[in-house]
Structure 1
Amino acid sequence: MPPTGAPSAGAPFIAADVGGTHVRVGLVDGHDPSGFLQYRKYACADFAGLGEVLQAFLGTLGPGLAIDRGVIACAGHALDDGSLLSVNLPWPVVPARIREQLGFDDLRLVNDFEAVAHAVAAADAHSLLRLSGPARAMPGPTLVVGPGTGLGAAVRIPARGGAVVLATEAGQAALTVSTPLELAVLQEFLRERRHVPMEHALSGPGLLRMHQALARVRGVAPTRSTPDAISAAARAGDDPLAHDTLDLFCGLLGSAVGDMALLYGAHGGVHLAGGILPQIRDFLERSSFVARFLDKGPMREALQKIPVTLVEHGQLGVIGAASWYLDRIRQEDDACTEAAARTPRRRNTASTASQTRDGENHDETP
């Protein structure tokens, strides 16, 4: 059943895409998930919590517009108590607490890459670069994956009556390596922890960790202190350690995405999103990413038929969250309508009893 005060058709609402670094918020037209009435981007570090971010956004709307419903797309795993388990957010996310803080009637939570997967139907308009495969995909599941503060992934599966989206924690799966250099870097990681997840290397913070580990392997000092600085130096071509770090990053990412494509049967294509890749698109195109994506032995031919496209994540998370929200509202409305249609009308008991008595008296009359 829908929650109390379920949104009426067309009512505007807010949709937020929450990452470890930025929160993107849109005021969404209730008829069109990509129809933003207003859109803003906020730095997480500037706020004490997500509730404060959303309050700041609502404060920009003016007094004449009352919004009391919304959806949050956020990295992490939703727990039974409604809170979110995430290793990459700067503050806890508890939708019930935020709903009370904002005075909302309805506030829902969806995994951030699940939201992006809901938006892939509109991804063509946001495509930046096709890295591999044909222009047209075969029918089948679509994989959305990308590094940001962590490594997110979701799968969109075609189904009768609408697509089903599977949120994953693929970024927490173990990092696998294929070359002696990658093995040496992995051994450096293993000095600090027993389990090395993919996102420990394949993320913004992971790029810096990899730079530091590669420096230790080579017995030199790190040359850069932030992920952005590493990427910029690698693209400029004036820092061999930065260049090799980013090339290592792209190769490991290609191998990981190829594994995921096989694991999920992503014949419908792979969309690369996240906050990092659009910034290094020129380097990514020249890197070993595609070679490592395809380097899966006898499965190479199958992977060559899968389009791999870089998309601009930007507003896709907000669009996807809004699309997911409107789908849920429609499903709940349809379920209520169907339930009402199946419920038999209650007869007037007193009238029925009176008619029965009249009938019985009539039958007994000589």
Structure 2
Amino acid sequence: MGTLANHPAALPLSQAARPILAADVGGTHARVALVAQGVDARAPVQVLCHHRYVGAEWPSLAAILHDFLGKHAASAPQGVERCAIAIAGFVLGDSVANSNLPWRVSLSEIRSTLGTDTLEVVNDFEAVAYASQFVDRTEATTILPGQPADPRSPVIVMGPGTGLGSAVLLPGAPHAQVLSTEAGQIALAPGDEVETGIWRILARSRPYVSYEAIISGPGLLNTYRAVCELRGGEPSLTTPDAVSAAGIAGSDDAARTALDVFCAVLGGFVGDLAMLYGARGGIFLAGGILPQMREFLLASRFGERFFNKGVMRPFLEQVPVWLVDHGHLGVVGAATLHPGARVGASH
């Protein structure tokens, strides 16, 4: 569903023998890896070992990193050169601002636990967007074929998980740049009467309804509960995974409707981003949710709503859309993202 390709344009990692400790931290999972420089320019990065942690099962991110290093000490006998973390949210003083994380992230605690002062923190979708240039597009799942991607044009990487992340890759020399965004917080625009009814229900409990209120794991559960209320029923499913599974299986009609709305709203939102950034380079759908619903997404109203942009349809018909498994993208992006490649981000 999309793998890292050998890519000569990657920023070389340090020549030092010590590997880099890299982590990709979301609201649900923390992916941690030891990353070393590849063998040559065609293989610029090498993931030595990796593990995916369930964040809520650990008291802190520092504890996760300490556990990982303890289990993989043989891969870093001289310690690590530095620690690079891609994380949902943004740095605010000593902590990371994000209400979706299961614990407070203390940068000083991580430095103390690891015994290093060299700690780099970037937004998680910044890292994924930077790593997207190393993805073999022929191995990604094509959602909309479009035309051959323009290598000079922006590439969007976005995806729902515990939240809704989005970033833009801007090709260029000597290296690509990444524009970090908070596009998931754009105001939700309902596309039909059902979505308007869902919006009204969501608006009762919050002063502002963003796209993330539907296009995320918690958003899918929000949508399911709203659909049940619109139909005068009681929700029986209590987790996003349960809603997704029941919707795909067709065992719960409200869940199936919620999943249909999720995919339709996603299509409209992605189409808006494609127009906003002129993304002829293509769009990667990532995140932790979409790979689980690949077949449903392919058969959904995603494409219908993506193209439903009036006079802009001919432009959107040129834009390819791929689904890629998040996999190692975040840790590779964190390890290779050059500070000069970051545009408009908070660190």
Above 0.5 in TM-score? yes
Deviations 1:277-313 (CA, angstroms, capped at 9, x unpaired): 0000000000000110111110011001000000111
Deviates more, 1:194-203 or 1:132-141: 132-141
Mapping 1:313-328, distance limit 5 Å:
313-324=326-337, 327-328=338-339
Residues 133 and 125 of structure 1, relative CA distance in 2, 3 Å threshold: closer
Corresponding residue for residue 233 of structure 2: 220
Residues 329 and 158 of structure 1, relative CA distance in 2, 3 Å threshold: closer
CA distance in 1 between partners of 2:341 and 2:142 (Å)? 34
CA distance in 2 between partners of 1:42 and 1:129 (Å)? 26
Mapping 1:245-264, distance limit 5 Å:
245-264=258-277
Deviations 1:292-341 (CA, angstroms, capped at 9, x unpaired): 011111001100100000011121111111121xx34999xxxxxxxxxx
CA distance in 2 between partners of 1:126 and 1:68 (Å)? 34
What's the secondary structure of 1:119's corresponding residue? helix
Q: Does 1:67 align with 2:67?
A: no
Deviations 1:50-105 (CA, angstroms, capped at 9, x unpaired): 000000001012363422511000011223x2532112111122323311222113
Match of 1:170 among 176, 183, 192: 183
Match of 2:296 among 273, 283, 286: 283
Percent sequence identity over aligned pairs: 46
Corresponding residue for residue 39 of structure 1: 50
CA distance in 1 between partners of 2:228 and 2:19 (Å)? 51
Shift of 1:23: 0.5
Corresponding residue for residue 340 of structure 1: none
Corresponding residue for residue 359 of structure 1: none
Cα pair 1:76 1:85 within 8 Å, conserved: yes
Cα pair 1:147 1:277 within 8 Å, conserved: yes
Given residue 26 of structure 1, which amino acid in structure 2 is its aligned partner? A
Shift of 1:133: 3.1
Deviations 1:34-64 (CA, angstroms, capped at 9, x unpaired): 4111111111011111000000001012363
CA distance in 1 between partners of 2:62 and 2:222 (Å)? 31
CA distance in 1 between partners of 2:340 and 2:111 (Å)? 18
Given residue 141 of structure 2, which amino acid in structure 1 is its aligned partner? L
CA distance in 2 between partners of 1:97 and 1:195 (Å)? 34
Corresponding residue for residue 229 of structure 1: 242
Residues 33 and 19 of structure 1, relative CA distance in 2, 3 Å threshold: farther
Mapping 1:172-211, distance limit 5 Å:
172-211=185-224
Question: How many residues get paired?
Answer: 323
What's the secondary structure of 1:11's corresponding residue? coil
Corresponding residue for residue 339 of structure 1: none
Corresponding residue for residue 128 of structure 1: 140
| Unpaired segments ≥5 residues, structure 1 | 1-5, 332-366
Q: Under a length normalisation based on structure 2, what TM-score does the superposition of the two structures give?
A: 0.88
Residues 107 and 309 of structure 1, relative CA distance in 2, 3 Å threshold: same
Shift of 1:127: 4.1
Corresponding residue for residue 19 of structure 1: 26
Bigger radius of gyration among the two:
1
Given residue 271 of structure 2, which amino acid in structure 1 is its aligned partner? G
What's the secondary structure of 1:24's corresponding residue? strand
Q: Does 1:93 align with 2:100?
A: no
Given residue 260 of structure 2, which amino acid in structure 1 is its aligned partner? D
Q: Under a length normalisation based on structure 1, what TM-score does the superposition of the two structures give?
A: 0.84
Shift of 1:124: 1.8
Structure richer in helix, relative to its length? 1
